[in-house]
Copies of this chain bind each other. A is one copy, B any other.
Amino acid sequence: MKNMIIASTSTVHGGTYLSYILPELEEFFKGISTILFVPYARPGGISHDDYTAIAAKGLATIGKKVVGLHTFENPVKAVEDAEAIFVGGGNTFLLVTQLYKQQVLEPIRKAVINGTLYMGSSAGSNITGLTMQTTNDMPIVYPPSFKTFGLVPFNINPHYQDPIEGSKHMGETRETRIKEFHTINTQPVVGIREGSWLHVKDDVIYLKGTLSARIFEQGKEPYELETNSEINFN
């Protein structure tokens, strides 16, 4: 009964918060009045209240009310009671540390398996994978584990970025980093470009949005998956 949107980013260049994906969200959240927002990733260190206000403003345009998970005395109950959950982006290490600390990782996973709508963007998408180990973020805090929801049978690399042509920078490209991941990890990695998202319905996963995705499987050359295609590693 899983029903999820896993978006590369909250915002595309030149757009406002969630603007590029609002038509899809209007359909996705149809019949839902209130969305539980998880602000733990705190981009730029802003307060949980301020971050929740940004999400609320973005989703007000499609008539949704947004409440922050941090405002509940009992976060586990808040998760269990939610109709829909939206986990915003920011720093994945911070997000995962907080999910463990607040003991909501397993409750959110269970709720989504039982049909609670889930939307993630950026770090909130990264954690739907088996582990957070293909994040692009800086390890600003030490989480108790890198294990995440495992709601999809692969890892996610959000904000996937192609090598910059003519760059003289010697740091690793994104592709090189993911290949390094595969020297010691076996799960596939789906690199989702900004403006694209995955739609998960039970065990059927479609790539949506304007761009193709880059797929990395251990021991294979990376390849492109066209939009509106199914992702299936079986």
A residues whose Cβ falls under 8 Å from a Cβ of B: 9, 11-14, 42-45, 90-91, 94, 132-142, 145-146, 159, 161, 164, 168-172, 176-185, 194
Contact = CB atoms under 8 A, between A and B. Distances in A.
Contact of A139 (B11, B45, B139): B139
Given A45-B183, A91-B180, A180-B44, A168 B13 contact: yes
Contacts of A172: 136-137
Contact of A179 (B44, B137, B146, B161): B44
Given A140-B183, A177-B137, A161 B168 contact: no
Given A11-B170, A159-B170, A138 B133 contact: yes
A181 B140 contact: yes
Contacts of A182: 45
Contacts of A176: 44
Contact of A138 (B13, B44, B178): B178
A233 B42 CA distance: 29
Contacts of A94: 184
A141 B91 CA distance: 18
A99 to B, nearest CB: 16
A184 B139 contact: no
Given A159-B170, A161-B169, 11 more contacts: A12-B170, A13-B169, A13-B170, A43-B180, A45-B179, A45-B184, A132-B139, A135-B139, A138-B181, A142-B146, A169-B194
Contacts of A9: 170-171
Given A11-B170, A139-B146, A45 B180 contact: yes
